[in-house]
Structure 1
Amino acid sequence: MYRTRILRDIDITAEGLAIEDFNMTFEVHAKDLGRVAFRPGAAVAYTQDPDTLRDYAKQVRRWNLGFWQTLRRHRFGLRRFGLATGLFVLELLTSSLMMLLLLPAVALAGTAAVLVALGMGAGFPDAVLAVDPVTGIVIGVLLPDYLLTIVVAVVSRRGVYVLYGLTFPLLRVLDSYLCLRALVLAFRGGSSGVWHSPTRRAATV
């Protein structure tokens, strides 16, 4: 929700953006039109999660594309919002790259372990054989993520989240791929803004 007096100063229909949400937020900060506030419990909203992995990927891709397009349009700036955005982008890029490297790192470690067990590890450099990325990944990434999932399951009283949490690492890898792919698409060209929404279920209250 926006105060109506600032809408005339916001370019709501900016061209080349997949979504308008990010752009409107950036313009509020860039033009000193006010501040963005968050009030839990002030509104009640009912959301629908994608029913298929394909719809999920399309939605996440659109969000990422809209963010990178908005960033290309506004840049960072040297004010607090710009600096905070810069830190967020740094974390986003490093975490995405790390998640994409998980699979080849695990594959390399597994291959090395198998070859060593078979007495065929002589061809691997000692540096590769000495690295154990699996333990670091489990302790540093997967375990904290799963513990957080358990906390959410307890707080929300949705025990099924504990089961769903086992698949979250694969979704993290997919999210990372979609994020970096959208980055390339955003700086390679614009967007018509046309969005083909997935099929919606009938609203139930």
Structure 2
Amino acid sequence: MTSDAMGFNGTPVPDVLRPTLSRIDELDARVHDVCTCDPGPISAAVATAGRYVIKRHILIPGFAAAWCAGMAAGHDGLRRAGAVGMVGLLATATASRTIKAHIRRRRPDECEPRRKPGHRISARSFPSGHAASAFAAATAVASATRTPGEAALVYACAAVLASGRVVRHRHWASDVLAGALLGTGVTLLTRALLPGLPKRAPGEG
């Protein structure tokens, strides 16, 4: 996938797709410049939180602990969220890494004029793994919520944390959006296919 405008690097795509990819790159660049021109302390704090809180290396053990607690206490909601979270995050990570290896899009700080001298180019921007993990986790937690409002709040938190990846110059907005869709879709599929999950109690969202 490649675009002459910015960010994509790999096997050329059909000419018919080039205008669309170029348009996406242009929009990404505009959003990126708006988000990073003067982040301020709150945005900087969100970016830092997004870097560490939504890492799968932290989330997977957390869901494993929730599953163990649910099993020990006989709490169906914890058990369901823990199981869906663990498997959903692992499946999402596998899908994300596979896509990254084929798309090979450069990160914002790997493109001129933002690239630092000597900075190694990883070309692993699309999709955002952090955003995918955030929304995979949100989907798992939402499976144990009791109202649509609670589920919406969980997804809102995931969106805020994922947006920090743009502020931190590590992803384009389209990377984050793609990661969010990937994490949500894979985890919903996991929830539907995972055997032995306790059924939702009346009143759960």
TM-score, normalised to structure 1's length?
A: 0.27
With CA pairs under 8 Å and 6+ residues apart, which has the higher RCO, 1 or 2? Answer: 1
TM-score, normalised to structure 2's length?
A: 0.27
